[in-house]
Amino acid sequence: MGGETGARRAPARQILWLAPGFCLWFSALVVVYVLHSVGCAFGWSAGTLRLSLAAALIIHIAAIAGLWRVQALRGPNPSFGRTGVFLHWIIIGTLVSALAKIVLTLGPTLFLSACT
């Protein structure tokens, strides 16, 4: 095993990018659950409740989609070398997976009856 060449290194904060996609999914889950609980407890009308749930969902979907777009347009930073490329594709993978998950788990439920 020989020595490492000196490429500019992928910063440690790149690791933090592995989290935002699924953090936004979890945030959507929590916000929807909380809004539903509060709305039902305080007697919001079905229309108001459904609208607020949909708004929360759309905001989170837009945020994940936005992050995906930013990462996809930016592409892997060539100066970060092989590690940067690897992390870039993992980040994209988490964002795509989170987007699919948020749509599949939370989308259809908005068509169900609320508070019963």
- Closer residue to other proteins (CB): 2 or 47: 2
93 binds other proteins (CB under 8 A): yes
Is residue 64 within 8 Å of 98, Cβ to Cβ? yes
CB of 69 to other proteins, least distance (A): 18
1 binds other proteins (CB under 8 A): yes
Of the candidate spans 14-22, 58-66, 67-75, the one that interacts with other proteins by CB under 8 A turns out to be 14-22
Token pair for residue 81? 């070398």
74 binds other proteins (CB under 8 A): no
Is residue 7 within 8 Å of 39, Cβ to Cβ? no
Measured between alpha carbons, how far is 54 from 51 in angstroms, rounded to an integer? Answer: 5
Site for other proteins in 17-36 (CB under 8 A): 18, 22-23, 25-26, 29, 32-33, 36
Burial of 85 (0-12, 13-18, 19+ CB in 10 A): middle
Tell me the residue type at 92.
I
47 binds other proteins (CB under 8 A): no
Is residue 64 within 8 Å of 99, Cβ to Cβ? yes
Q: Please give the span between the terminal C-alpha atoms of the chain, in angstroms, as a whole number.
A: 65
Which residues would be at the binding site for other proteins (CB under 8 A)? 1-4, 9-12, 14-15, 18, 22-23, 25-26, 29, 32-33, 36-38, 40-43, 81-87, 89-90, 93-94, 97-98, 101, 104-106, 108-110, 112-116
